[in-house]
Amino acid sequence: MASLSLLSTPLTHQTVTYTSSCKYNFPSTGVFRTSTRKGFKRHTSVVTAMSDLAQSTVLVTGAAGRTGQIVYKKLKEKPDQYIGRGLVRTEESKEKIGGADDVFVGDIRDADSIVPAVQGIDFLVILTSGVPKMKPGFDPSKGGRPEFYFEEGAYPEQVDWIGQKNQIDAAIAAGVKQIVLVGSMGGTDLSNPLNSLGNGNILVWKRKAEQYLADSGVPYTIIRAGGLQDKEGGIRELLVGKDDELLQTDTRTISRADVAEVCIQALQFEEAKYKAFDLASKPEGTGTPTKDFKALFSNITTRF
C-alpha cells in the first residue's frame, strides 16, 4: 500500500510525455504539467489511479470457515479500501467460497505452501482453528455427553500452534504491517471444558500462538471471542474485557458477524494495535449498538 505521505510527489503509474506545439487530450485522472523549452511546449500527463493509493491487501486465512467467510466477504464489499485474499486448505473449500483467483490453497502446517498467499500483503487476519469432531454413535436420547476427537495430524498443537506460528513467520518475512489473530476466551483456565475436547488442550495451544505473536514485534490485535453465534451483526453493544472476566457474567457470547466486523475495524485504527482483549456483546435490544470502534479500541489497555 502506498503511503499517503508520498502524495506531495505524485506517484506515477503511467507517464506520457509529448513534445510539440500541438494540443493533446489527456486522461481526466492525473496531474497535468506544461513547460516551455526552446519554443516547444512540453506536456506531461502523470496518470495516477488514486484508488490504488488507498487500497490495502488483506489475507484472511481460514477463509472457508463460518467466520472467515464473513471477513472475506466484507473485504470484497470494500474494493476502494481493500484487496481481499483468502487462504483455504482444499480446492473444495475454495469452490465453496466462489473459487476466485484471489483464494489460495495451502496447508498452514506446511510453511512453504502458504508463502505465495502472503506475498505482497499489508495485513493478515488469522481465523484458522483446530476443529474437534464428534465420535459416531452418540444418542442424545440416552443422556450423557458426546465424545470428540481430532483427526490425525489436525490436533490443536499442529493447527493452532505450529500452523499459526507458520502464518506469523511468513507474514513477518513478507513485511506485513499488522496481524489480527482471532482466538477464544477461556485461555486463563486450564480446566476449561474446551481443553478436554479430544484431549486436545486447544486453548493452551491457542494461547501459545498468541504469546508468540505478542512477542514477535509486529503490530498485532488479538481478539479472544466468546461463544460464537450465527446471528446478524451490527445490532448489539459490544463488550471488551480481559483475563476471561466476561466468562463470569451473563454476557459471554457474540455473533460471528460482529467478530468479523471487529477484525476489519482493527485494520483501520492505531488504537487497535498492540492490544489483546476478550470480546462479547450484550443481548439484542439492550444497550446501544456499537458504531464507534475507535472508542472501543481506546478503552482497551491490555497488551496480552
- As annotated, the active-site residues are 184
**Which sign does the torsion angle of CA 101, 107, 112, 117 carry?**
positive
**Which sign does the torsion angle of CA 190, 194, 199, 202 carry?**
negative
CA 152 from centroid of its chain's CA atoms? 27
Q: Over the Cα atoms of the chain, what is R_g?
A: 24
Residue recorded with cell 500483503 = 121
